[in-house]
């Protein structure tokens, strides 16, 4: 029997022995090939026409959690691919099968590129970017699909996150400023085309800064997240709630039949904010101030609508916070004035535009002068006299109150020295201290320096603070108040009755005096409620061993009423208006006998 002959590669003819040798070579070749494939980082997978796995390299094993032997000969789409992805591959494979004998070339030079999910043995999903090429065994005509892939899960996730972050705020998951502008511009287009109304609500949390400053930024962030969860509950799905930075949120109310519908939503939001937010183990009540502008009445473009809702929000803040205001054109006039005042205020100290007035205070038991309150005055070349009621809040907000307040104290101490000895008793000079000054870390140092510089006796100085300033953060306030007291300075709580004082704290505060706000004094003889409040304040203050001064006493009836209540001191136009220093000297000289 002649040797069986085989025709292999390049028409080379070999015998059985030769074939054996060739098999060994092929086997070795195959092993070498597998070793090579195992060293490449890419996933390499070969499947036959039925989708059964022919080759599965080490990278595939590592990623899938299967070893080759577990999968060898099994249809890959039953194991590794999702059904939808499997269909895509099958279709591709089928389309090739139709002309599979035509060529061993891939469908195009780079092969077919597809991304699909791969389900690994432990059930986790990885996104793989595959390049498929057809390989055809010329000899047998059998075609295979060679797939090489890379795991792009992390990359794609990062891409998606990036895409998300260009439109959503990472902290609150609400639309961010960019998406908000997109939606607003779309809304505007729709409203113009179909003659519709819509409203823009500008929200700013009240007391957010306080939470941030006292409980830390993490709690501040938590508060924003919790607030952000509440807001969408108050609106329809078709509306947009966006977080545009800091503690500012905006809402587009898309379907508005009448302006008052916006008020209903604003009321809902205010209602939600009456409930405390639980920030870890702190319970926190924060309000919200809302400004509303309505298209088309309050603006015909994005910037105007946004600016006007912002202006209205400031108005809401100015009128007691935790409320809402609709925009009206007067607000712009106010906002403009405020802006101009701010810029003038920045130059006022340098231009010597401030002066001080002093208003005497009287002891009611003997009608003797007891001291005076220092009140700042501002005359501007542009606006004439500007009341402290108007500019002190601007100075507070801008931080200008710090240098202005220092100037007041220094000037008051310097001027006040000359009046000591002119009355029969030492005169206690009161100076108002604003919230921002009180919270400033340099407060104590600054007071010490001014007292040292001017030589003013601290025991003849009284600092007036409003209730809200000390109550806001009572524990740290007590520390600062103690430092002030330790210097020998007196402390008064100004405008008492206007805030929400906690009596238990009041007892712990090292204070000397309460000043009853003039709003209670003005109707004390006619309004039984005001009379009751004044009576209660005086009785409570005395039981806490505090002195009481009544502010804004204008009539002798008021004075007599207060005297009957055993009020200690009074101050007001009945005795004297605030006076410039020269007039105050004259006042003292005229009253020297007291």
Residues forming the site for Mg ion (CB under 5 A): 432, 464, 494-495, 551
3-class secondary-structure state, position 229: helix
DSSP state of 174: S
CB of 404 to ligand C2E, least distance (A): 7
**3-class state of residue 44 by DSSP:** strand
Residue selected from 242, 265, 306, 376 as contacting ligand C2E according to rule CB under 6 A: 376
Alpha helices (H) along 319-387: 329-348
55 close to 44: Cβ distance less than 8 angstroms? yes
Question: Which residues in the 422-441 window bind ligand C2E by CB under 6 A?
Answer: 432, 434
State the nearest-atom distance from the C-beta of 494 to Mg ion, in Å: 4
Cis check for the bond before 296: say yes or no (omega within 30 of 0). yes
Member of 572, 587, 588, 591 binding ligand C2E (CB under 6 A): 572
Closest CB to Mg ion among 71 and 511? 511
- Minimum Å gap between C-beta 483 and ligand C2E is 19
Q: String of b and e for 7-28 (b: at least 16 CB within 10 Å)? A: eeeeeeebeeeeeeebeeeeee
Measured from the CB atom, the residue of 306 and 537 that comes closer to ligand C2E is: 537
Smallest separation (angstroms) from ligand C2E to the CB of 240:
41
Q: Of 467 and 551, which has the nearer Cβ to ligand C2E?
A: 551
**C-alpha closest to that of 537 among 514, 555, 554:** 514
- Output the smallest distance, CB 405 to ligand C2E, in A: 6
Under 8 Å between Cβ of 558 and 539: no
Q: Is 387 in the site for ligand C2E (CB under 6 A)?
A: yes
Q: Beta 428-432 vs 461-466: how paired, if at all?
A: parallel
Q: Which of 46, 18, 12, 14 is nearest to 30 (CA)?
A: 46
- Provide the β-strand partners of residue 494: 466
384 makes contact with ligand C2E (CB under 6 A): no
If binding means CB under 6 A, how many residues of this protein chain bind ligand C2E? 24
Q: How far is the CB of 360 from Mg ion (least distance, A)?
A: 14
Nearer to Mg ion, 116 or 432 (CB): 432
Residue 384 CB, shortest distance to ligand C2E, in Å, is 15
Indicate which of Mg ion, ligand C2E, none lies near residue 376 (CB less than 5 to 8 Å, by partner kind): ligand C2E
Report if residue 578 touches ligand C2E, rule: CB under 6 A.
Answer: yes
Interface of this chain with ligand C2E, residues 480 to 509, rule: CB under 6 A:
494-495
- Closest separation in Å from C-beta 348 to ligand C2E: 13
Helix 208-215, helix 217-230: angle, nearest 10 = 140
- Residue 149: name its binding partner from ligand C2E, Mg ion, none (Cβ under 5 to 8 Å by kind): none
Tokens 């009945």 map to which residue? Answer: 574
Out of 18, 388, 393, 426, point to the residue binding ligand C2E (CB under 6 A).
Answer: 388
Specify the stretch interacting with ligand C2E by CB under 6 A; choose among 285-293, 311-319, 386-394, 420-428.
Answer: 386-394
559 near ligand C2E (CB under 6 A): no
Q: How many CB atoms within 10 Å of residue 222?
A: 20
| C-beta closer to Mg ion: residue 169 or 494 | 494
Residue 388 binds which one of ligand C2E, Mg ion, none, with CB within 5 to 8 A depending on kind? Answer: ligand C2E
Largest CA distance in the chain: 152
Which one of 115-123, 173-181, 280-288, 568-576 is the stretch in contact with ligand C2E (CB under 6 A)? 568-576
> Does residue 149 belong to the site contacting ligand C2E (CB under 6 A)?
no
Q: From the CB of 575, what's the least distance to ligand C2E, in Å?
A: 8
Q: How many CB atoms within 10 Å of residue 251?
A: 26
Q: DSSP string spanning 524-547? A: TTT-HHHHHHHHHHHHHHHHTT-E
Stretch that binds ligand C2E, among 17-25, 293-301, 440-448, 549-557 (CB under 6 A): 549-557
Q: How far is the CB of 580 from ligand C2E (least distance, A)?
A: 13
132 vs 520, beta carbon nearer Mg ion? 520
The option from Mg ion, ligand C2E, none interacting with 572 (CB < 5 to 8 A, set by class) reads: ligand C2E
Name which position in 243, 317, 518, 547 contacts ligand C2E (CB under 6 A).
518
* Three-class secondary structure of residue 330 per DSSP: helix
Whole-angstrom Cα distance, residue 292 to residue 203?
9
353 binds ligand C2E (CB under 6 A): no
Dihedral, CA of residue 578, residue 517, residue 464 and residue 507, to nearest 10: 160
The least CB distance from residue 472 to ligand C2E, in Å, is 16
Inter-axis angle of helices 153-167 and 177-194, nearest 10: 60
Burial 54-90 (b: 16+ CB within 10 A, else e): ebbbbbbbebbebeeeebeebbbbebbbeeebbebbe
Give which of 171, 330, 331, 175 is closest to 252, Cα–Cα.
175
Site string for ligand C2E, 443-482 (x = CB under 6 A): ---------------------x------------------
Residue 322 near ligand C2E by CB under 6 A: no
Closest C-alpha to 6, from 20, 141, 143: 20
CB distance 201 to 265 below 8 Å: yes
Contact residues for ligand C2E (CB under 6 A)?
359, 374-376, 387-389, 392, 405, 408, 432, 434, 464, 494-495, 518, 551-554, 571-573, 578
């Amino acid at each position: 029997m002649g040797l069986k002959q085989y025709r292999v590669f390049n028409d080379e003819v070999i015998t059985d022995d030769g074939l054996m040798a060739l098999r060994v070579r092929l086997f070795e070749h195959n092993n070498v090939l597998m070793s090579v494939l195992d060293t490449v980082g890419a996933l390499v997978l070969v499947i036959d026409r039925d989708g059964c796995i022919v080759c599965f390299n080490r990278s595939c094993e590592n990623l899938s959690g299967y070893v080759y032997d577990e999968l060898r000969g099994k249809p890959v789409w039953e194991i590794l691919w999702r059904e939808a992805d499997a269909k895509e591959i099958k279709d591709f494979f089928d389309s090739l099968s139709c002309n599979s004998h035509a060529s061993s070339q891939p469908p195009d030079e780079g092969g077919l590129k597809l991304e699909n999910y791969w389900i690994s043995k432990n059930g986790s999903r990885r996104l793989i970017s595959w390049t498929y090429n057809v390989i055809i065994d010329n000899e047998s005509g059998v075609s295979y699909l060679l797939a090489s892939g890379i795991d792009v899960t992390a990359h794609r996730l990062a891409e998606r996150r990036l895409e998300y972050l260009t439109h959503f705020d990472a902290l609150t998951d609400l639309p961010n400023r960019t998406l908000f502008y997109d939606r607003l511009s779309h809304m505007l287009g729709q409203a113009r085309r179909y003659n519709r109304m819509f409203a823009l609500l500008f929200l700013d949390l009240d007391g957010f800064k306080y939470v941030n400053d006292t409980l830390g930024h993490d709690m501040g962030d938590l508060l924003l997240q919790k607030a952000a969860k509440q807001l969408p509950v108050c609106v329809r799905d078709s509306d947009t709630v966006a977080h545009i930075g800091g503690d500012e949120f905006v809402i587009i109310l898309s379907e508005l039949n009448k302006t008052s519908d916006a008020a209903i939503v604003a009321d809902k939001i205010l209602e939600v904010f009456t409930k405390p937010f639980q920030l870890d183990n702190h319970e926190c009540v924060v309000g919200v101030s809302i400004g509303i502008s309505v298209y088309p009445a309050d603006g015909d473009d994005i910037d105007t609508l946004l600016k006007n809702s912002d202006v209205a929000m400031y108005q809401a803040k100015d009128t007691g916070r935790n409320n809402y205001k609709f925009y009206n054109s007067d607000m712009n006039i106010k906002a403009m004035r405020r802006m101009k005042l701010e810029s003038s205020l920045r130059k006022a100290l340098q231009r010597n535009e401030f002066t001080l007035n002093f208003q005497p205070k009287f002891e009611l038991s003997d009608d003797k002068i007891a001291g005076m309150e220092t009140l700042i005055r501002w005359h501007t070349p542009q606006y004439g006299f500007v009341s402290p009621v108007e500019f002190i809040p601007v100075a507070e907000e801008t931080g200008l109150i710090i240098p202005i307040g220092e100037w007041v104290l220094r000037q008051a101490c310097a001027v006040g020295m000359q009046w000591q000895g002119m009355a029969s008793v030492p005169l206690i000079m009161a100076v108002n201290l604003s919230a921002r000054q009180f919270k400033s870390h340099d407060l104590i140092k600054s007071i010490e320096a001014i007292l040292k510089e001017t030589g003013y006796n601290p025991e003849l100085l009284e600092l007036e603070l409003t209730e809200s300033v000390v109550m806001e953060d009572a524990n740290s306030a007590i520390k600062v108040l103690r430092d002030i007291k330790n210097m020998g300075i007196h402390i008064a709580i100004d405008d008492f009755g206007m805030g929400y004082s906690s009596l238990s704290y009041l007892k712990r505060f090292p204070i000397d005096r309460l000043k009853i706000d003039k709003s209670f004094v003005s109707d004390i003889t006619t309004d039984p409620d005001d009379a009751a409040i004044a009576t209660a304040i005086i009785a409570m203050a005395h039981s806490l061993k505090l002195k009481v001064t009544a502010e804004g006493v204008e009539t002798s009836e008021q004075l007599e009423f207060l005297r009957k209540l055993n009020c200690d001191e009074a101050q007001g136009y009945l005795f004297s208006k605030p006076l410039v220093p020269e007039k105050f000297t004259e006042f003292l000289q005229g009253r020297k006998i007291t």
